[in-house]
Structure 1
Amino acid sequence: MTDFKDRERAEEAKFTFDNENAFRIIARRNRLLGQWAAQKMQLTPEETESYAKAVVQADFEEAGDEDVIRKLIGDLTAAGVEIDEAQVRQALSEKAVEARRQLLDKL
């Protein structure tokens, strides 16, 4: 019975660890994406920091990435940057890889 309890605790701990890491990766990806967009909009370092935080917050509006994509396209277009959804999705994909790499380097 002890082996079963130990195994159950280990599985629960792994599940928690995996979920926390997934959340961290997405938050870091969104921050990197915000920095990418801020650079395209030629924001100051202070504005870039604020904008990156706003992109992270935008992800809490609804499940999935559509809220972030919608925010970026709207903000970039309003700033006069010519961009389409495919370019934003490509950046999202690239920043996800970068965020995962950064997080794994910390572990």
Structure 2
Amino acid sequence: MTSFDEREDAFETEFAHREELKFKARERAVKSLALWAAQWLGKTSQDSEAYARDLIAVDLASPNPDVALELIAADLGPRGITQQEVRRVMDQFLAQAEISVRGSSSQASD
């Protein structure tokens, strides 16, 4: 194997790793957002978990990256929570999830 092939393989491996981390962070952020919304909606613990699972499944199945956010915003609209507020909270959860995923990834490689 040439040096070029080795570098190409390393870049492909690194790309796949980064994409996996982004996927995990997104899934965690959607779950956190759904649980946050469930509190506003007055759902029980069990119903909150089901709500989060359903929204994660919708998020995974849809090519639209904002579908879960839009569904949550629609659910929270009658409570006076705007889509901009939901998006702001999602951005916060996504930032936290990215830090968490990077941290757990670096610990796993130690």
Using the size of structure 1 for normalisation, the TM-score is: 0.88
Q: Does 1:85 align with 2:83?
A: yes
Stretches of structure 2 that go unaligned for 5 or more consecutive residues are 106-110
Contact 1:58 1:71 (C-alpha < 8 Å) held by counterparts? no
RMSD of aligned alpha carbons: 1.4
Contact 2:32 2:93 (C-alpha < 8 Å) held by counterparts? yes
The structure carrying a bigger helix percent of its residues is 2
Matches within 5 A, 1:21-100: 21-59=21-59, 60-65=61-66, 67-77=67-77, 80-100=78-98
| Moved segments of 4+, more than 4 Å | none
Contact 1:25 1:96 (C-alpha < 8 Å) held by counterparts? yes
1:91 counterpart letter in structure 2: V
Give me the whole-angstrom Cα distance separating, in 2, the residues matched to 1:26 and 1:9.
26
Contact 2:25 2:97 (C-alpha < 8 Å) held by counterparts? yes
Alignment length (residue pairs): 104
Using the size of structure 2 for normalisation, the TM-score is: 0.85
Give me the whole-angstrom Cα distance separating, in 2, the residues matched to 1:25 and 1:42.
26
What is the CA distance between 1:28 and its match in structure 2?
Answer: 0.9
2:87 counterpart letter in structure 1: R
Give me the whole-angstrom Cα distance separating, in 2, the residues matched to 1:62 and 1:9.
28
Identity %: 27
Give me the whole-angstrom Cα distance separating, in 2, the residues matched to 1:49 and 1:86.
24
Give me the whole-angstrom Cα distance separating, in 2, the residues matched to 1:7 and 1:81.
53
